[in-house]
Amino acid sequence: MISKQLRKKRIALPLILTGTLLLSACAANSQPMDHQGHDMANMSQAPQQATEPKTMSAAIDSAMEVLTGNTFTLTAKESMLHLDDNTMKTAWTYNGTVPGPQLRVKQGETVKILLQNQLPEPVTIHWHGLPVPNNMDGIPGVTQNAVKPGESFTYQFKVDVPGTYWYHSHQNGVVQVDKGLYGSLVVEPKEQQSVDKDFTLVVDEWLKDDSMAGMSHGGGHAGMSMSTTTSDHSSMMYSNSSEMPMSDAEMMPLMYTIFSANGKTGSAITPLMIKQGEKVRIRLINAGFLSHRLYLQGHEYKIVSTDGQPINNPPLVSGQLLNIAPGERYDIEFVANNPGSWLLEERSSNPGATSLTVPILYEGYEATKPKAEKGDLPLIDMTKYGEAAKSDFSLDDSYDIEYTMDLNTEMKSGEMTFTINGKTYPDTPPLQVKKGDLVKVKLVNKSPKDLHPMHLHGHFFQVLSKNGQPVSGSPLVKDTLNLLPGEEFVVAFIADNPGEWMFHCHDLGHAAQGMMSEVKYEGFQRDFVVDPTVNNKPE
């Protein structure tokens, strides 16, 4: 598997210190890159101005910059986010935008990122999905002290594995990531694949009513069910059919009703401009708390990778929905062979779904009014997608260690908690491993309604089975795996990256309410001392 091979293949490349910094001040939310990796922002600027002149002024606040090279500065600071002309949020950002700039780096390079904190709270950066050394993983109180207001920290690591990743604060993530402290990270492969357009869409959700911030997720949930008389939103806490309090899974989509792509919602979302005949890649990243069911109009497409890892021989998809869970990434590719004005749309039944429609516009065509299609379509099952191939792990292998993680939703002294084997972090038992161990983990979602996108830091794992059925499609290698209620998955990985690694639900509200564990290597020593004056919050 990837992780094994890459350990052997590490090649030291000389630092290229002359990296260029490409700042595009234009309004393109989705910067196309040509196949040589050049920023095409300036080329795409003109048509976007022509088609969407009125979003230009507002869009400056959320333009996605693309930074290339190997030395970066990310400044955490407050900024106004214009989701559309009428909807503004006070956001927490890296470099003033949501998402933060895209860091576009080359496989094999050593990159250096200076984090400066201008926010009133401590922050970090976690490089979601990238296997970095443990002390670069950005976990407050576990791999470093969170960076205090006014202070800075330098992250430095070699990027070995090409693909689509993202970065976000790991300090009090349920608040900080929710406020916008995230961005995308693309590791370009050594051998450049040829696509003509390379877009990135980071999806997220926002509260319609910011006063509900404290009520979101488990904490607010228990609070809400105890404050029915004082809450304006009491009608939301009980489902019509019964007196049972609503589950987190039912309540969140009713609170988070503004969906965004690259920091824009609804008609403010910048169209992806394409030309007939082009090969188009869209890198989808979910930075939010909700799953999104995406549908591409007018084109069949291939899912070429998930969580940065390639899919073997992916077939064309049509008439199905691609579900992207919190923390997951999917790279899709299609050939622009159907000129016109199309949408990539959200087709879940969540109230916010209609606000996530990304226009896909052929040059020379008028943007027509979004014509969202309706109707239920089957979901793509990634465990059956693509073609089987030789892989690193199988169900028949013998493993050094086997763990089971039962994921559940439990009331504990009047609080909604999300548990692993009945415990909440930091009382969850860690997975103890030794370097070189082959580890098999069975994940079981016992929550009646909540889904749990489980994310392992520092490693990729291979998905071996779902509900007892071996994966029959492409070997499926991921860092974030979504479990619906009742589902059971078996995954395997090699313990090849010593440290203390978080293994948690990427519904960050669930993580904050307990659903977090650690993979701990025997004999590993931290290289820092916890500073008690920093209010480290590792979730």
Residue 141 engages ligand C2O in binding (rule: CB under 6 A): no
Please count the residues of this chain forming the interface with ligand C2O, following the rule CB under 6 A: 10
CA distance linking residue 382 with residue 225, whole number of Å = 37
Q: Which stretch binds ligand C2O (CB under 6 A): 271-279, 345-353, 437-445, 502-510?
A: 502-510
Binding mask 475-514 for Cu ion (x = CB under 5 A): ------------------------------x-x--x----
Residue 505 near which of Cu ion, ligand C2O, none (CB within 5-8 Å, type-dependent): Cu ion
Phi, psi of 489 (to 5 degrees): -125, 145
Q: Least distance to ligand C2O from the beta carbon of 124, Å?
A: 11
Q: Least distance to Cu ion from the beta carbon of 445, Å?
A: 8
Binding mask 311-330 for ligand C2O (x = CB under 6 A): ----------------x---
Phi, psi of 260 (to 5 degrees): -135, 155
Q: Which residue has the tokens 């990743």?
A: 165
Residue 510 engages ligand C2O in binding (rule: CB under 6 A): no
Please say whether the beta carbons of 22 and 101 come within 8 A.
Answer: no
Phi, psi of 15 (to 5 degrees): -65, 135
Q: How many residues does the chain have?
A: 539
Angle at 197 between CA 321 and CA 290, to 5 degrees: 35
- Spatial CA neighbour of 325 closest among 520, 506, 494, 171: 506
Q: Which stretch binds ligand C2O (CB under 6 A): 23-31, 48-56, 402-410, 500-508?
A: 500-508
Q: Least distance to Cu ion from the beta carbon of 274, Å?
A: 36
Q: Which residue is nearest to ligand C2O (CB)?
A: 128
Which residues, 421 to 480, sit near Cu ion by CB under 5 A?
Answer: 452
Binding mask 426-455 for ligand C2O (x = CB under 6 A): -----------------------------x
Q: Least distance to ligand C2O from the beta carbon of 166, Å?
A: 7
| First CA to last CA distance, the chain | 29
Q: Least distance to ligand C2O from the beta carbon of 456, Å?
A: 9
Amino acid, single-letter form, for residue 179: K
Residue 138 near which of Cu ion, ligand C2O, none (CB within 5-8 Å, type-dependent): none
Residue 168 engages ligand C2O in binding (rule: CB under 6 A): yes
Write down the number of H helices and E strands in the chain. 7, 32
Please say whether the beta carbons of 169 and 126 come within 8 A.
Answer: yes
Please say whether the beta carbons of 345 and 295 come within 8 A.
Answer: yes
Q: Least distance to Cu ion from the beta carbon of 510, Å?
A: 3
- Residue 515: alpha-carbon gap to chain centroid: 17
Residue 106 near which of Cu ion, ligand C2O, none (CB within 5-8 Å, type-dependent): none
Residue closer to ligand C2O (CB basis): 446 or 455:
455
- 243: Cβ–Cβ under 8 A, 6 or more apart, which residues? none
Residue 170 near which of ligand C2O, Cu ion, none (CB within 5-8 Å, type-dependent): ligand C2O
CA distance linking residue 159 with residue 157, whole number of Å = 6
Number of other CB atoms surrounding residue 421 within 10 Å: 15
Residue 299 near which of ligand C2O, Cu ion, none (CB within 5-8 Å, type-dependent): none
Q: Cα–Cα distances in Å, from 408 out to 97, 215, 473?
A: 36, 20, 29
Sign of CA dihedral 75, 79, 81, 85: negative
- 78: Cβ–Cβ under 8 A, 6 or more apart, which residues? 90, 91, 92, 93, 118, 119
Residue closer to Cu ion (CB basis): 30 or 291:
291
Number of other CB atoms surrounding residue 520 within 10 Å: 16
Q: Least distance to ligand C2O from the beta carbon of 37, Å?
A: 25
Residue 126 engages ligand C2O in binding (rule: CB under 6 A): yes
Residue 197 near which of ligand C2O, Cu ion, none (CB within 5-8 Å, type-dependent): none
Residue closer to ligand C2O (CB basis): 357 or 517:
517
Residue 293 engages ligand C2O in binding (rule: CB under 6 A): no
What SS3 state is found at 248?
Answer: helix
Residues contributing to the site for ligand C2O (CB under 6 A): 126, 128, 168, 170, 327, 455, 457, 502, 504, 506
